[in-house]
Structure 1
Amino acid sequence: MALGVTGYVILAVLALTVVAFIAAKARAKSAAGGDVRLLHSLPNYYGYNAAMFTAVPALGVLVIWLMAQPMLIENAIFDRLPDHLIEDGFSRNLMMSDVRRVAEGLDVAVSAGAMTEERADRIRTEFSDVRSILGSVGVALGSDVRPEVLSAAQQYRKSSAIGMGWMTGVVLILAALGAFVSVFVSGADFRARNVVERFVLSMLIVAASLAILTTVGIVLSMLFESLNFFRMHPWTDFFFGGQWAPNFRGNSDLSILPLLWGTLYISIVALMVAIPIGLFAAIYLSEYAGPKVRAFAKPLLEILAGIPTIVYGLFALLTVGPFLVSIFGRGEAGLLGVDWMSGATAVLTAGLVMGIMLIPFVSSLSDDIINAVPQAMRDGSLGLGSTKSETIRQVVLPAALPGIVGAVLLAASRAIGETMIVVLGAGAIAKFSLNPLEAMTTITTRIVSQLTGDTDFASPETLVAFALGLTLFVLTLGLNVLALYIVRRYREQYE
C-alpha cells in the first residue's frame, strides 16, 4: 500500500514537472513576443529552471519523509508497549519486527478483500479469526501472537496511513507551489541560465562531497563502536596479545596479531603470483604485441577483473585446493608421497587464486603507466645502439617504476580487503605459521564470523569486529595514500 502511494506521488510530481517545463518555456517566449533573441537565456533554460524547482524540493522532501517516518512511528509505538514484554525477554528489534509483520499481514488481508477495515479494527478480541483470515491469503502470524503486539500492529497501520496521507499532501503542494512560482517568474529578463548553472554547480559540489562525507561517516561509525569495545576489553591484549580465541561466555583472547599475520601472509603469496605475471603481461602488451594482438588480448585479460570473488572462492575450493592436495598431501596418494597438506584449505590455495584475481589490476595499471613513458626516451636509447630488451630494462621500466610501485600497492590493498576467496580457500584457523600448506584466516573473515548469527552488540566478542574493521581500514588507507604519493611525487620527472 505504501509503495503504491509513493509511486503515484512520484508520477504526479513528474507530471507537474513536465507541465511546468512546457509552461515556463511558453511563458518566456510569450514575454519576448515570440522573438527568442530578446530573452536573457535560451528558452530551454526557463523550462529547466521550472522543472528544477518543481521536482527537486518535492522529491527531496519525499525521500526524507520516507526515511524518517518509519523511525518516528516505531519509536512512538515502542514507547506505548508495556514494560513486561521487555522483562519477558523480547528485544526492541524482535518486538518491532513482529509488529511490522503483523501490520503487513493485515494490509495484505485488507487489500485482498479477506477483511474489511471495520473487521481489522476489531482484531483485539478476535485473534483466531484474524489468523484464519490471514492464513487464507498466505500470511502466517505464527502461533504465539500477543494481544499487545496485535494492538501495536493496528496502531502502526493507522499511523502509517496518516503519515502517507500527510506526505502526499505536502509533496504535491510543494511541487505545485514550485511550478507556479517558477512559471510566474519566467519573464524575458529573468536570468534562467545563471540559476540553472548555479544549481548544477551545487549538485556537483554535493556529489564531490559525498565521497568525503561517506568516508567520515564510515570512520566515525567504526570508531565509536571500537571505543565501546576497548572499554570492555584491554587494548593491550588486542594489539599485543598472541592468541585469537573468542568465547561468548567470557575470558576471550582477542588479539589481532594472528589475524594480521594471516592477512599479510596470504596477500604476500597473492602478490608473488600477480606481480610477475601482471608485469610481464603489461610489458608484452605495451612493447611487443601488435595492434591486433593488443586489441584482443588486453580486454580478454581484463575480463578477470569482472569475475565475482565468490566464483574465485569456489574455484579455490573445488579445483585449486584438491589439485594441491594431490601433490603435497595425503601420504602415498599425493604425487610427492608426502603428507604436508591435510586439506584443500590453505594459505597457498587462497594466495594462488587471489593472485590470479589481481593479475588484471597489476597488468592494466602497469600497461597504462608504461605507455605513458615518452616515445622520445625509447628512440634515444635505440639510437645509441641499445637493443629493444635493453631499452625496456634500462630506460622504460626505470621511468615507469614509480607508477608500477603505485599499482602494486593498490593491488596489495585489494588483496588485504578480500573476503570470499579467503573464506572458501584459506580456512578459519588463526595462528602464527610459516607453512603455506596450512590453513589460516584473515581479518575480513573474522569480521564476518563475529557478526554472523544471533549477536549481542553489548559483548566484546561482537564489538571486536568494529575494532578489526577500523584497523583494516587504516591499513588499506595507508597503502592507498602511499601509492598515490609515489605516483604523484615521482611521475613528474618523466613528463
Structure 2
Amino acid sequence: MGSALTFLTILVIGLAAYFLARARAAAVVDGDIRKLHSRPVYFGSYAAILSILPASLVLIAGLVIGAGVVENSIRSSLPAEVLAKPQSEQNVAYQMVSAIADGLARMTPAETATVSSDITQLKAVLGSKGVPLAQQPQPYMVDAAQHLMNMAGTTSLIVGLVSISVALAGAYFALSRVSQTYRARNRVETIMLSALVISSTIAILTTFGIIGSLVTETYHFFSVVSPLNFFFGTVWDPRFSTDGNSVGQFGLIPLLLGTLYIALVAMLIAVPIGLFAAIYMAEYASRRVRSIVKPLLEILAGIPTIVYGFFALITIGPLFRDFSASLWGALTGNHTNFIEAQSVLVAGFVMSIRLIPFVSSLSDDIITAVPRAMRDGSLGLGATRSETMKRVILPAALPGIMGALLLTASRAIGETMIVVLAAGVAANLQFSPFQPMTTITVKIVNQLTGDLEFNSPQTLVAFALGITLFVITLALNIYALYIVRKYREQYE
C-alpha cells in the first residue's frame, strides 16, 4: 500500500467522520441545534481532526522510521568485503542498490526475469527506464535490491494499516463523544490554537536551524581559510593551487563591493520613480487612471528575473554600449565605448525596473492607509495638496515606507540572474559603474555547482558568503528601525 493511497484513505475517513458527526449532533437534539453547546459544524470538525491529524502523524513517523530500519537492514546484509571498505564506498554501494530497486519497480515481470538471468543487460534496461547507473551492477546488488523492494513493500503495508486503524479509532472516539453538552467548539479551538503555536515554533526553529547550519559550515571554512584573508582580502580566486600549498584566495571585498554597488545603483533609480508613482496614484490620479496604471506597474513584478536578464543582455547592454561610443565619438572623434555591455550601470538599471513595482505598490498601499482625517484637517487649515503630502501624509507613512524600501533593498541584494547576465561573473575590484562586477549571490551559486567535494574550501566558502549576506540584512533592519524610531520621536 503506497503512502499516497494511505493518505487518500485517511482523508476519506476524515471526510466521512465529518458528515457523520454533524448528522449525529443534529439527531441528538432532534434537529433543534439551539440545544447543543456547540454547532454541528464543530462536532464535524472535531471528528475530522481526530481522524486525519493523528493518523497523518503516524503515517509520517512510520515512513521515516521504516525507511531508516530498511536502510540499516540492507546495509548490514551487504557482503563482508563491502562492509570492510570505507564509509564513502559503502554509501556508493547502497546508492547503487537503491537505484536498482527503483528501476526494478518500474519493470514488467518479463523484464525482471530477463535481467535476473542476464545481469549484463541490467544497466542498459535501467537506463531505458530513466534510472542511469554510475557503474556496472554486481550480483549482490541485484539480490540486495530485491530484498530492499520486499522490505519496503512490507513496511509500507504495515505503516498504512496502522495509520488507517488510527484514523478509524479517532473517528470512533469523536463520534462516541457527540452529545448535547459536549464542548466540541472548545476542543476545536484548543487544537487550532495549539496548531498556531506549533507553526510559530517551527518558523522560529527553522530560522535558528538555518543560522546554525550557516554558522557550522562557516566555522569549518574558517578552520581552513583565515577570517582575515576572507573579510579583508581583495582577490577572489577560489581555485586549487598547483603547488598544493594553498587552497586559493577568497577575498570578500570585490564581491561585497559589487553587491552594494549594484544594489545602490538600482535603488537610486527605483526609489524616486516608484515613490513618485505611488504619490501620484494615491493622491493625484483619478480612479480610472489608477485602475489602469497600477495593474500595469504590478505586471513588472510578475515577470521572471531571467527575462530581465535576457532584456539586459540583448537590449539594454548593447544600447548603453553603442550610446557611449556615439557620445564619446561626438566629443572626441574616437568612437570608443566607455560603458561595457556588462557593467554595474546596466545591471543596476535593469534591476531598478524590476524593483519599481515593489516600491510603488507597497508605498501606494501605505500612503492610502493614512487616515483621511489627517488629509482633511491639513487641507481645512489652508495647506495645499503638495504641502499636505510633504508635511502630513509622508511623515505619517514613513515607517511603512521605510519597511517597503528595506524589502526592496533586500531583493536588490539577493538578486542573481539579472546580475549574471547584466554584470558578468568577474570579481573585479574597481569603482567605475561602467565596468563589470559581480555579487555575493552569484558566487554562492558558482561555488555550489560543479564537481567539487562538499567539504572543500571552494564549496564551504558559499556558507561564509551566505552568513555575510545574513549579517548585512540584519544590519539594514536594525538601522531602519533606528531611523523610524528617531523620526517618530520628532513627529510625535
Name 2:5's counterpart in structure 1. Answer: 8
**Alignment match of 1:301 (pick from 297, 300, 317):** 297
Do the aligned partners of 1:409 and 1:479 also contact (CA within 8 Å) in 2? yes
Which of 186, 204, 210 pairs up with 2:202? 210
Q: Hey, what's the Cα distance between the residues in 2 that align with 1:488 and 1:321?
A: 41
Partners of 1:375 and 1:176 in 2: how far apart?
56
Instruction: Tell me the residue number matched to 1:242.
Output: 234
Question: Within 2, Cα distance between the matches of 1:113 and 1:480?
Answer: 61
Q: What's the Cα RMSD here? A: 3.2
The equivalent of 1:52 in structure 2 is 49
Which of 178, 203, 221 aligns to 2:170? It is: 178
Q: State yes or no: 1:159 paired with 2:155.
A: no
What number of residue pairs does the alignment pair up?
486
Q: State the alpha-carbon separation in 1 of the partners of residues 220 and 147 from structure 2.
A: 36
- Give, in whole Å, the separation in 1 of the partners of 2:169 and 2:131: 42
Tell me which residue corresponds to 2:405: 408
> In the aligned structure 2, how far is the partner of 1:358 from the partner of 1:483?
19
Using a 3 Å threshold, how does the CA distance of structure 1 residues 393 and 14 change in structure 2: closer, same or farther? Answer: closer
* Alpha-carbon distance between aligned partners in 2 of 1:83 and 1:342, rounded to the nearest angstrom: 63
Aligned to 1:220: 212
Stretch moving more, 378-387 or 440-449: 378-387
**Deviation, structure 1 residue 204:** 2.0
2:103 corresponds in structure 1 to 105
Specify the code of the residue in structure 2 equivalent to 1:254. F
Query: How far 1:451 moved relative to its partner?
Result: 0.3
Instruction: Return the letter of the residue paired with 1:103.
Output: A
8 A Cα contact 1:114 1:137, kept in partner = no
Alignment of 1:281-296 (within 5 A): 281-296=277-292
1:74 aligns with 2:66: no
Aligned-residue identity in percent = 48
**Structure 1 Cα separation of the partners of residues 258 and 310 of structure 2:** 20
Cα displacement (A) at 1:129: 5.6
Note if contact 1:328-1:335 (Cα within 8 Å) is conserved in structure 2: no
Q: Is the 8 A contact 2:214 2:463 kept in 1?
A: yes
Runs (5+) with no aligned partner, structure 2: none
Report the more deviating stretch, 315-324 or 31-40: 31-40
- 1:485 CA drift (Å): 5.7
Residues 333-369 of structure 1: CA deviation (Å, up to 9, x unaligned): 9998453447521111111111111111211222233
Alignment of 1:185-196 (within 5 A): 185-196=177-188
Q: Distance in 2 between matches of 1:94 and 1:313?
A: 39
User: Which ranges of structure 1 fall in alignment gaps of 5 or more residues?
Assistant: none
Give the secondary-structure state (helix, strand or coil) at the position aligned to 2:2. Answer: helix
Q: 1:37 to 1:388 in 2, by over 3 A?
A: closer
2:251 to 241, 248, 255: 255
Contact 2:423 2:436 in 1 (8 A): yes
Tell me the CA shift for residue 318 of structure 1. 1.4
Q: For 1:275-317, what per-residue CA distance to the aligned partner results, in whole angstroms no more than 9, with x for missing partners? A: 1111111121122211111121112112211211111111111
Structure 2 CA distance, aligned partners of 1:165 and 1:27?
Answer: 33
Deviates more, 1:159-168 or 1:390-399: 390-399
Between stretches 25-34 and 431-440, larger displacement belongs to 25-34
**1:43 Cα deviation from its structure 2 partner:** 2.1
Compute the TM-score of the two structures, normalised by the length of structure 2: 0.88
Does the CA-based 8 Å contact 1:406-1:487 persist in structure 2? no
Superposition deviation, residue 69 in structure 1: 3.8
Report what 1:345 is aligned to. 342
**For residues 97-134 of structure 1, what are the alpha-carbon distances to aligned partners after superposition, in whole Å with 9 as ceiling and x for unaligned?**
4322211111111xx33246xx49x93x6413645765
Q: CA deviation at 1:215?
A: 1.3
Cα deviations by residue, 1:20-71 (Å, 9 ceiling, x for unpaired):
2233334434444554343322222222211111111111222333344444
Cα distance change, pair 88–198 in 1 and its aligned pair in 2 (3 A)? closer
Q: 1:293 to 1:198 in 2, by over 3 A?
A: same
CA pair 380-468 structure 1, distance change in 2 beyond 3 A: same
Distance 1:219 1:76, change over 3 A: farther
CA-CA distance at 1:169 after TM superposition = 1.5
Task: Flag the 1:107–1:358 CA change in 2: closer, same or farther, 3 A.
Answer: same
Higher deviation after alignment, 401-410 or 181-190: 401-410
Check conservation: 1:407, 1:483, Cα contact below 8 A: no
CA shift in 2, pair 1:327/1:42, >3 Å: same
Go from structure 1 to structure 2 and tell me whether the alpha carbon gap of 1:145 and 1:295 turns closer, same or farther (over 3 Å shift): same
| Aligned AA (1:107) | A
Per the alignment, residue 225 of structure 2 pairs with: 233
The change in CA–CA distance for 1:343 and 1:390 in structure 2 (over 3 A counts) is same
1:328–1:229: structure 2 CA closer, same or farther, 3 Å change rule?
A: same
The CA distance in 2 between the partners of 1:147 and 1:300, in whole Å, is: 63
Change (3 A) 1:156 1:399: same
Question: Are residue 312 (structure 1) and residue 283 (structure 2) matched?
Answer: no
Deviation at 1:86, TM superposition (A): 8.6
> Counterparts of 1:168 and 1:61 in 2: how far apart (Å)?
9
1:361 paired residue number: 358
Residue 326 (str. 1) matches residue 326 (str. 2): no
Q: Matched residues in 2 for 1:179 and 1:141: separation?
A: 46
Amino acid in structure 1 at the alignment position of 2:199: A
Residue 270 (str. 1) matches residue 273 (str. 2): no
Match of 2:433 among 426, 432, 436: 436
TM-score (norm 1): 0.88
